[in-house]
Structure 1
Amino acid sequence: MIKSRLLEVESIEDPYVTQLQADERKGVQKLLLQLEKRLAKEQALKKQFYSMQSFERSCYKNGHHLVAGIDEVGRGPLAGPVVAAAVILPEDSVILGLNDSKQLSEKKRLALADEIREQAVAVGIGEISAEKIDQVNIYQASKLAMTEAVENLTMAPDHLLIDAMSLDLSIPQEKIIKGDARSVSIAAASIIAKVYRDHLMKEYHNQYPYYAFDRNAGYGTQAHLTGLAEHGITSIHRKSYAPIKKYL
């Protein structure tokens, strides 16, 4: 009863907490300590979110209210597409724990992806195939994926915050180095793109089971390299990448 009630407490100043502080039972004092740690962690996450929202707040002050964060994943893998996401968050959005998707566990990414999709004004995905990557190079393919993600938004953005890239679009934009760790919108896009691409590669694993795509997302792990040596390349391998070239 006490434990479940404390889960609803949002401040150490809550009268119920004051009441429990006079309770000398060890179990109660342990629960109060856990409460303090939870509230401290939540406060730290709120400060982090506020700090990472500085680029968005600047846009809002300048009259831009549909700010899209854009990021891509999948430049390095030997197989699969490069995927980008564009995410417009509402101005009053609060999603604690947003960060560069690479810094988060899969479980945390999945939970945050659900929360982002629930709160987002719009989400767009761009996906450029391995074949196209081979034709235009990965840098250009990343730009194409990002552009496609913006074009697939159900609501047109009036400002773009882009992770380390500029796009050939007439929309006002800002390139932010390491943006996925500095902007909540770009971090949200990073998570959406990562979750989308990981799911896609798990589906490819069912089609091509010899490369451990479900575990490596197309990166050149030992299991992937062993699969290449024993079974050759697939239609989703990037033929312009080493060591794929030697199997052509």
Structure 2
Amino acid sequence: MSSEIVILGSGTSMGVPTLGCNCAVCTSTDSRNTRTRPSIAIEWEGNRVLIDTGPDFRQQAIRERIQHIDAVFYTHSHADHILGLDDLRPLSFRHAAGMPLYADDRSIKILETVFAYTFSPEAKYPTRARVKLHRLNEHESVDVAGVTFQRVPILHGEMPVAGYRFGNAAYLTDMSRIPETSLPLLEDLDVLILDALRKEPHPSHANVEQALAWIDRVQPRRAFFTHMSHELDQAQTESELPSHIRLAYDGLRIPFKLAGGA
């Protein structure tokens, strides 16, 4: 089944350019160095699923001409991954039963609090998002239009968060460690998109060296870095990498096959 991963955003929680910074990357004329908050879309046969809705989602959706969404999966509840939820409103109205949103229990509690005017039983806002939360257990999978989305438990510092596998691709943003029990879920990948914040170590994100080590461990056929800070220049960093490892950038479309899966 032919499909594409669309990189909606490839930046950090502060985005690139970063406010108040005049470094070479923040002032670069290379459009690939402009990075909005991290998110992807998976598109196949007229279907579309999002992973995360960050604060830049509205502009990302306009840029990619997104006019419908079948479901959203959340990795965790940090602001740069959830604050665009309200921008789902005009796309959710066609979902009579509510656009399905999938997240773990910790994330759902945050979503219900931040967006109480959407989820509270007492909410009376007439044009609130027509969405419905669904809790995901640690290793649970969900079928969307014939495609299995498998939750992959990973760690963001000490915080348990989710990556997702779909067909022979996987997305692991905001990741510093992959538990041994999750490695079997990442076997035989064509595409792996993973966190690579910068070259220097960070307590809750993989740096370039660590990302390369995870790629060597998992052995995907192609790999793409995401959640990148202004410390990584696109052209310079790619020149230092093997040809099967590239930096993602906003608007990049990655063809892959959805047949198969974990």
What is the TM-score normalised by the length of structure 2? 0.24
Higher strand share: 2
Based on CA coordinates, which of the two structures has the bigger radius of gyration?
Answer: 1
Higher helix share: 1
